A = this chain, B = another copy of it.
Amino acid sequence: MATAHTAAEGVGRQPRVRPTQRERSDATVEDLLTAARALFASAGYAATSLDAVCERAGVTKGALYHHFAGKKQLFSAVYTREQERLAARITGAYRAAAADPWQAVFEGCRAYLEASLDPEVQRITLFDAPGALGWEAMRDLGVNCRELTQKGIARAIRKGAIPDRPADPLTSMLYGGLSESAMAVVRAPDPQAALDEVLTDLRRLFDALAAGS
């Protein structure tokens, strides 16, 4: 049986003799989020028990409920982190090609797609999040990838890289399409070949959109 401090000290954090309360909190939250993300990603939201999360994190449910309002909130925090990581990758790819606004969107889409191929990311963001959080909660949860897509498209339109149009419909089609594509690619007999096909087709789609009136 592990004590409350074992987890915090075990991760390489310097074992302070008298850790401040803020440090304890942060470490505990970190442990909980790490444990929760691992279990949510492998077993899924419903099949993950809070007891298992607590055991893995080396704390009890008292600690969990002190920092999170409940299972949904815990998952929400994990989901938010996942979105932030995805957003960082997308933004990085986008910025690297920002000179060409439409090409930048393409690179952002490629980054989102490739990142979403990770089964763990997929389980959290694509399978469990809608049912567990609901669409509105997902939308209003800090930075999300859909918003990035929308901004990228809006910029491409403003810059005249693609014909003028409202940004929202295309945002939904792109974002939803890429999400579904990620799920299909991973389950394909030859995922690598499927990914190549998807990217090739996405390229043609982008060209067609740029050429359209």
A residues neighboring B (CB under 8 Å): 44-46, 126-128, 130-132, 134-136, 139, 165-166, 168-170, 172-181, 183-184, 187-188, 194, 197-198, 200-202, 204-205, 207-209, 211-213
List chain B residues, Cβ under 8 A from A128.
130-131
Contact among B134, B166, B173, B188 for A177, CB-based, below 8 A: B173
Chain B residue at minimal CB-CB distance from A146: B180
Residue of B nearest to A200 (CB): B169
Alpha-carbon distance between A136 and B177 when the two chains are bound, in angstroms = 18
In the complex, residue of chain B having the shortest beta-carbon distance to the beta carbon of A205: B173
The copy count of this chain in the complex is: 2
Name the residue among A45, A136, A177, A194 with the largest chain B CB count within 10 angstroms: A177
5 A-B contacts (beta carbon < 8 Å) = A170-B201, A172-B183, A208-B208, A208-B211, A211-B211
Least distance between A194 CB and chain B CB atoms (Å): 7
Question: With A180-B173, A180-B179, A183-B135 in contact, do A212 and B204 touch (Cβ < 8 Å)?
Answer: yes
A97: shortest Cβ distance to chain B, in Å? 21
Nearest residue, chain B, Cβ from A166? B197
Cβ–Cβ contact A187 & B45, under 8 A: no
Given known contacts A207-B212, A208-B209, A211-B212, A176 and B166 CB-to-CB distance under 8 angstroms = no
